[in-house]
Structure 1
Amino acid sequence: MGDKAYTHPGAAGRAQAADHPASVRNVVLVGPSGSGKTTLVEALALTAGAVNRAGRVEDGGTVSDHDDMEHRQQRSVQLSLVPLEWDGIKVNLLDTPGYADFVGELRAGLRAADAALFVVSASDGVNGSTRMLWDECAAVGMPRAIVVTHLEAARADFEEMTRVCAETFGGDDPDAVLPLYLPLHGPEGPDGHAPVTGLTGLLSRKLFDYSTGEREESEPAGDRLPPLEEARGRLIEGIIAESEDETLMDRYLGGEQVDAETLIGDLERAVARGTFFPVLAAAPAADGARRGLGTVELLDLITRGFPTPLEHGAPSVTTLDGRPRELKPCDPDAPLVAEVVKTSSDPYVGRLSLVRLFSGTLRADQTVHVSGHGLTGRGHEDHDVDERIGALSTPFGKQQRPVSHVVAGDLACVAKLSRAETGDTLSAKDDPLLVEPWDMPDPLLPLAIQAHSKPDEDKLSQGLSRLVAEDPTMRLEQNQDTHQVVLWCLGEAHADVALERLRGRYGVQVDVVPHRVSLRETFGGKAAGRGRHVKQSGGHGQFAICEIEVEPLPNGSGVEFVDKVVGGAVPRQFIPSVEKGVRAQALKGVAAGHPLVDVRVTLLDGKAHSVDSSDAAFQTAGALALREAASEAGIRLLEPVAEVSVLVGDDYVGPVMSDLSGRRGRVLGTEQSPGGRTLVRAEVPEIEIDRYAVDLRSLAHGTARFSRRYARHEPMPPHVAKRVGEEARAAS
């Protein structure tokens, strides 16, 4: 790595479909917003010859994302793929958003990739958000290399950044995070800052000077050798410590020289196992230059030091009825198993599905089986259908380059999969299989919407259906209690993107309205009611009278109906009618329009007419009796209470607990968690945590996560009930 001469690949940089999994590298770029991921992708594409200096595709195609601000903004909030070729290897670069609201796109990128470039800014350092992104990679065992960017900043310090990364990401072994190259600095400027002009390869013992706009290789001068050898020795010891050859360390310490190929092989295995994280530096190309500092070295690391799809295990696969299925890893000749990792809509070709092949070979116009992903609780339909796919292509910028087939381990875009959604499995139609889904973050910010006009109302259902098909982190709820359409999102930015896509992509204008929680009503004490429904209209009349008693029951009891009629005052055939009317009225509510719960309704007496009494009459009488009883009793509002678990850094435990208490929450306890974090458990009224996803992020500076689940309904304090009632009347 870094010891071969650089030659511009020209047309070789225009990646097409790979012929074998060994010639593919799937690499996801991970890092916080502003760390320079997208700029790095562009710099790597420029160095590989996939684009020219003007940001145009090398073969003269349309303007790419580099000069298209709209597309660049889209890439900042969604997963995007840039394929290129280097040294005969196809490299699929997956650029992920750095915003916490789009962690679903990140997890999709992690699922599609076999290794990661973890990008950190030398000017911004490592914060809580950076640590959480690192944890996302660690949770799935993703092999990683660390790339330090923004070295041109006045206070940027590569060595200090490497030390911070070692302390933060190395765990108990700081030597698991070591640089492969050291920066070369030019003369100090007027501000005292010495810019980085090149790199020193620790394994190759060579200098790579970028100061002229070209990459020039040379031998280090004598004054550079002592610091180079010291850093090189530490790097070699760090690599050898991960070697499978247990005698290698003793031999090295005994003076034996270890050849570069052995070191590179051990480095690749250590990176693939996720036990060693090399650090590199990168900077965009200066004006007039064809490549940025460190881009050649990064591409060499990707192609020679990162695992192939053959080395990175595939997710579990089962038959549709749940029986495990063993597949030969990443075999192009095995049964087809692919997964949709991203769904998008193109105005010219319709729906595009970005798929990762784990097994088999996918060909254009092939008929495949689409299996659902088990997210029906989020408004996503399960699928079990056959579909004929359209064209296969590999994307770059606005272009889609056609390919005839895609082999296991590669990524490609599939057109015309009208039923498949993100997370679905594509398999052979005569052998349908299902890939275990990746973990999707739970959307916890509600966005209640309604159509802006009648034409929008006609298009709303289809627009929402397409929206959630693209984004499995979004949950669509049709709330039966509040009659609201609610989009559950991951945060404000996620919600803003959803609204913009509805408007711009699907032509649906919606209004955001206050979100209402599902309240309940109950009786504050025992009360009696009499329902009298007597009408004579000249023909067949209506006659029904019933007398009931209502009393409150413990929480969670529902509505209980008891018959205590004696002497046939209410004929037996009409008692179920009274109950039906009572239960129908209870669903509608008796005071503020919320369902009535936790009461016992006892039918005590009544009257009937031999001709005019009917099922409908006694239903009406039962409802009237319940409403009369409610007018005599004090009706109490019940509010939903959620069990909330907050995982937060120890530094923010106090503010989080204080904030929960201020939301009428009851803190149930705390538990210590690994990594200097604490799990806070509490019960909080749902009306108080409507925007908790946003507020918690601000309170804990992006270092906390929380989960919630419904616990029960509890009586709402009178002053809160009064406020809720006033707000409801004002909105009506």
Structure 2
Amino acid sequence: MGDTAHAHPAAAGRGAGEADPSSVRNVVLVGHSGSGKTALVETLARTAGAVGRAEGGATASDRDGGERHRRRSVQLSLVPVEWNGCRVNLLDTPGYADFVGELRAGLRAADAALFVVSAAQEAEAVAGATRDVWEECARAGVPRAIVVTHLDTARTPFEEMTRLCAELFGGDDPDAVLPLYLPVLGPRGADGHAPLTGVTGLLSRPDSDRAPGGRAEESGAPDREEALREPRARLIEGIIAESEDESLLDRYLGGGDVDAGTLTGDLERAVARGAFHPVLPAAPSLGGDRPGVGTAELLDLVTRGFPAASERVPPRVTTASGAPRPAPACDPGGPLLAEVVRTASDPYVGRLSLVRVFSGTLRPDDTVHVCGRGLDGAGREPVPPHEARVRIGALSTPSGRRQHPVERCGAGGLVSVARLGEAETGDTLSCGGDPLLIEPWRAPEPLFPLALRAHGAADEDKLSQALARLVAEDPTLRLEQNPDTGQVVLWCLGEAHQEVARERLREGYGVRIDAEPHRFALRETFGERATGHGRHVKQSGGHGQFAICEIEVEPLPPGSGVEFADRVVGGSVPRPFVASVEKGVRAQAARGVAAGYPLVDVRVTLLDGKAHAVDSSDAAFQAAGALALRDAAGTAAIRLLEPVCAVSVLVPDDDVGPVMSDLSGRRGRVVGTEQGPDGRTLVRAEAPEAEIDRYAVDLRSLAHGAGRFERAYARHEAMPRHLADRVREVTTGGRPAE
């Protein structure tokens, strides 16, 4: 595949919407942060003859000036190129774990994946979240190939990298992950690094050397033949094992010759159906007009081995009410079915939506039906879909920081749509007369909180609208108005995600915010039985106020709330005023009796009291009930209760010990473990919410990026005395807890 001389093809000259679905390849690049994905995308664009740099110094895949400032990609970007008569839509995704939502969007938009691994990184960096994405692609049947970069500064030689990739990604069939090309390294420099000067194809064995004047090929040197024999034999055997021609194996084992054309055809078919995953070395260009090494071969693989957009099986489709519907075929003349895979704000054209068209053709000024299904406040359960009819704005395809207008986008294509009304990321676009809903992709639950408030009065007016738009653009953000603490909390995936969200509020929407400590829904309860006396007597001319009551308070089991009982005898408190006492008690319980947190898990019993025929009133007995509860709290030990979460942590087996030790250090209790899939263990524990506020970040470091966790509220439990005293001192300066 790509073993013969290959001149750069001229651009086909067709717009994004005019490409036939059979000639479109949508490919997402996946890899750990620092693996070289963005540099590889830029070099692939230059190799294919596309413009490498746009005005202002922006690269082909860099449309966010903030990304250049941060020196890392934080958003999905599209770079279209032409090669072998095909339109190749390269989707560059962030490698940092905080932006996995952008990666999920890229996977939905693409039909195949290139996994980029760096030979200069530690094995743990390759093995972490990258393996999770590989397994996700495997479950979906997405074809994959592997690109090894940074061989000139490698910690690990290419041979060892291919072995590692086979071990990580091969599963039960490591022979399905084999090199298709071997690197040709130049002489070592003074720094001890040997540059990648070319690649050797294992099927027909020419060496190709990317020089400034183009690609030259020559037969492999005799002294390399011995080194090529074993990897070439393994590759041939791996291809034959996946071949649909059962006679091929017998012919090969019988000593018969299998020509390179047959092997190449079987390889391409095995790659297209996701049964074989070739490994290729590549060196992105450092700049200028010189193309990278191995990039032409990589484009050959993409256009000849990866499936066309017309072969994509669309995601599950339903009506807005949830009734299953057959997905339409990838036909430009069919009914419209498209999905918003990303929403962003462009400083020049405003709001831009990246749309994948699965069926039909999208045109400017068309009116379409938008249907989307969001999530509830906890970020877990779907809510009824939102629907609207919108008019399609201008269509364009990106090139660096510019957008080039196009007249249409047909099935299989990707296009940017300006000002797409109320459409949000994940929404479905379909024909107005037959609205459909594509099953949304699974977004990770954000578990890292940012409590915020507007910086000033001018920001207060714009904050709510800006937050709503921010969450609509990024489904991995969750906005919460906490009813217990009154805080506005923006839940993120990590510190970098939080930083970008704050930057977008400031730069994109002109809203300044201040972060504040994240508060927790603490509660109070009585630690022992106590009695209280409430006396509300006032005489100030005219009708006075008179109410006296005696109560008893006793603690109840967790989750009991506040109970009220009446044991008054003899009518000392008239029946209508018993309800007034209860109302006053419950109002005071909601305000708290010690540190200002709601009182729970107690039974308040009205024992006795006094009333006046003229001066007693509903308001007077409410006040007396509240005073009696405060009086009882003044003589009893009041406990502070903190929320406790049930935590499920899925980590590699090697990290179970450190994770359990870390949870114990967070005042957590491990309640059990169970064996998970693929050499992983599920650790179940309970831990105070205050101790796992940063766990989304800390677990990533603890498990080398290979762990994930979920949490859910379990109950409130008594806070340790020394911590309760500290809370009291901060909130009220009150007396110590028991």
TM-score range, shorter chain: over 0.9
Tell me which residue corresponds to 2:498. Answer: 495
User: In the alignment, which residue of structure 1 is the partner of 2:660?
Assistant: 657
1:496-645 correspondence runs (5 A): 496-645=499-648
Shift of 1:112: 1.3
The one-letter amino acid of 1:97's match is: P
Task: Give unmatched runs, 5+ long, in structure 2.
Answer: none
Offset at residue 323 of structure 1 (A):
0.9
Alpha-carbon distance in structure 2 between the residues aligned to 1:34 and 1:15 = 33
* 8 A Cα contact 1:332 1:359, kept in partner: yes
Identify the residue that residue 392 of structure 1 maps to in structure 2: 395
Report the RMSD for the aligned CA atoms in angstroms. Answer: 2.7
Could you tell me which residue of structure 2 aligns to residue 718 of structure 1? 721
Q: Kindly indicate whether the alpha-carbon contact (under 8 Å) linking 1:129 and 1:702 is maintained by their aligned counterparts in 2.
A: no
Q: What is the deviation of 1:28?
A: 0.7
Question: Structure 1, residues 99-131: CA drift from partner, whole Å, max 9, x if none?
Answer: 111111111111111111101112225325544
CA displacement, residues 312-369 of structure 1 (integer Å, 9 cap, x when unaligned):
3221111111111112342333332222211111123221111222233222122222
Matched to 1:655, the amino acid is P
1:229-628 aligned at under 5 Å gives the runs: 229-285=229-285, 288-377=288-377, 383-628=386-631
CA distance in 2 between partners of 1:399 and 1:601 (Å):
69
CA separation of 1:155/1:63 partners in 2, compared to 1, >3 Å: closer, same or farther?
closer
Moved more, 108-117 or 568-577: 568-577
Give the 3 Å change call, closer, same or farther, for CA 85–15 of structure 1 in structure 2.
farther
- In the alignment, what sits opposite 1:114? 111
SS of 1:472's partner is: coil
Distance 1:111 1:627, change over 3 A: same
What CA distance in whole angstroms lies between the structure 2 residues aligned with 1:470 and 1:68? 15
Q: 8 Å contact 1:28–1:95 — kept in the other structure? A: yes
Out of 87, 93, 96, the position equivalent to 2:90 is 93
CA distance in 2, matches of 1:615, 1:419: 51
Q: 1:18 to 1:233 in 2, by over 3 A?
A: farther
Q: Which one is further off, 371-380 or 276-285?
A: 371-380
Structure 2 CA distance, aligned partners of 1:15 and 1:124?
39
Contact 2:523-2:642 at 8 Å conserved across structures: yes
Q: Counterpart amino acid of 1:195?
A: P
Q: Is the 8 A contact 1:521 1:638 kept in 2?
A: yes
Aligned to 2:144: 144
CA distance 1:269–1:539, shift in 2 (3 Å): farther
- Other-structure match for 2:28: 28
**Aligned residues of 1:17 and 1:394 also touching (Cα < 8 A):** no
Higher mean C-alpha displacement, 244-253 vs 718-727: 244-253
One-letter amino acid of the structure 2 residue matched with residue 462 of structure 1: Q
What secondary structure is seen at the aligned counterpart in 2 of 1:241? Answer: helix
My pick for the range that moved more, 311-320 or 61-70, is 61-70
Does the CA-based 8 Å contact 1:479-1:485 persist in structure 2?
Answer: yes
SS at match of 1:310: helix
71-80 or 333-342, which moves further after superposition?
Answer: 71-80
Q: Could you tell me whether the CA contact under 8 Å between 2:236 and 2:263 is conserved in 1?
A: yes
Instruction: State the alpha-carbon separation in 2 of the partners of residues 125 and 312 from structure 1.
Output: 35
Question: What CA distance in whole angstroms lies between the structure 2 residues aligned with 1:389 and 1:342?
Answer: 16
Q: How do 1:178-189 and structure 2 match up within 5 A?
A: 178-189=178-189
Distance (Å, rounded) in 1 between the aligned partners of 2:113 and 2:698: 31
Counterpart-to-counterpart distance in 1, 2:529 and 2:249 = 83
What do the CA deviations read for 1:673-707 (whole angstroms, capped 9, x no partner)? 23332222111111111112222222333232221
What is the deviation of 1:65?
A: 5.5
Is contact 1:82-1:93 (8 Å) kept? Answer: yes
> What SS does structure 1 have at the residue aligned with 2:214?
coil
C-alpha change, 1:563 and 1:429, in structure 2 (3 Å) is farther
Partners of 2:304 and 2:503 in 1: how far apart?
42
Q: Alignment partner of 1:17: what SS?
A: helix
| Post-superposition offset of 1:585 | 1.9
Three-state SS of the structure 1 residue aligned to 2:291 is: coil
Contact 1:371 1:433 survives alignment (8 Å): yes
Q: CA deviation at 1:94?
A: 0.9
**Post-superposition shift, 1:608?**
3.8
Higher deviation after alignment, 281-290 or 271-280:
281-290
Q: CA deviation at 1:286?
A: 5.5
What SS is found at the alignment partner of 1:419? coil
Q: SS of the counterpart of 1:443?
A: coil
Q: Deviations over 1:418-446 (max 9, x none)?
A: 32221222222222222111111111111
> How far did residue 255 of structure 1 move?
3.7
Q: Is contact 2:25-2:88 (8 Å) kept?
A: yes
Q: Which amino acid aligns with 2:89?
A: N
Map of 1:3 onto structure 2 = 3
Shift of 1:612: 4.2
- Count of residue pairs the alignment pairs up: 727
Q: Say whether 1:135 aligns with 2:147.
A: no
Is the partner of 1:473 in helix, strand or coil? Answer: coil
Classify 1:568/1:434 alpha carbon distance in 2 versus 1 (closer, same or farther; 3 Å): farther
Q: 3-state DSSP class of the match of 1:714?
A: strand
Which ranges of structure 1 fall in alignment gaps of 5 or more residues? Answer: none
TM, length-normalised to structure 2: 0.92
Tell me, yes or no, if the aligned pair for 1:333 and 1:360 is still in contact at 8 Å. yes
Amino acid at match of 2:659: V
In structure 2, what residue type is equivalent to 1:348?
A: Y
Whole-angstrom CA distance in 1 between matches of 2:456 and 2:617: 43
C-alpha separation in 1, matches of 2:361 and 2:378: 31
Q: Distance in 2 between matches of 1:573 and 1:729?
A: 36
* Structure 1 residue aligned with 2:219: 219
Shift, 1:545, TM fit:
3.4
| Distance change in 2, residues 1:322/1:65 (3 Å) | closer
How much has 1:67 moved relative to structure 2?
Answer: 10
Residue 164 of structure 2: aligned partner:
164
Q: 1:466–1:192: structure 2 CA closer, same or farther, 3 Å change rule?
A: closer
Comparing 71-80 with 88-97, greater Cα deviation is found at 71-80
| Structure 1 residues 241-295: Cα deviation after superposition (integer angstroms, max 9, x where no partner) | 1122223211232244445454344323322343321011111236654411111
Structure 1 pair 363–574 and aligned structure 2 pair: CA distance change class (3 A): farther
Matched residue SS, 2:485: coil
Call closer, same or farther: CA 1:616–1:408 in 2, change over 3 Å.
farther
Aligned-partner SS, 1:505: helix
Segment of structure 1 superposing worse, 489-498 or 358-367: 358-367
Equivalent pair of 1:378/1:474 in contact (CA under 8 Å) = no
Equivalent residue letter for 1:79: L
SS at match of 1:182: strand
> Partner letter of residue 35 of structure 1?
S
SS of 2:417's equivalent in the other structure is strand
Distance (whole Å) between structure 2 residues aligned to residue 129 and residue 285 of structure 1? 22
Amino acid at match of 2:641: L
Farther off after superposition, 62-71 or 36-45: 62-71
Correspondence 1:700 to 2:703? yes
Deviates most, 607-616 or 208-217 = 607-616
Which shifted more, 38-47 or 475-484? 475-484
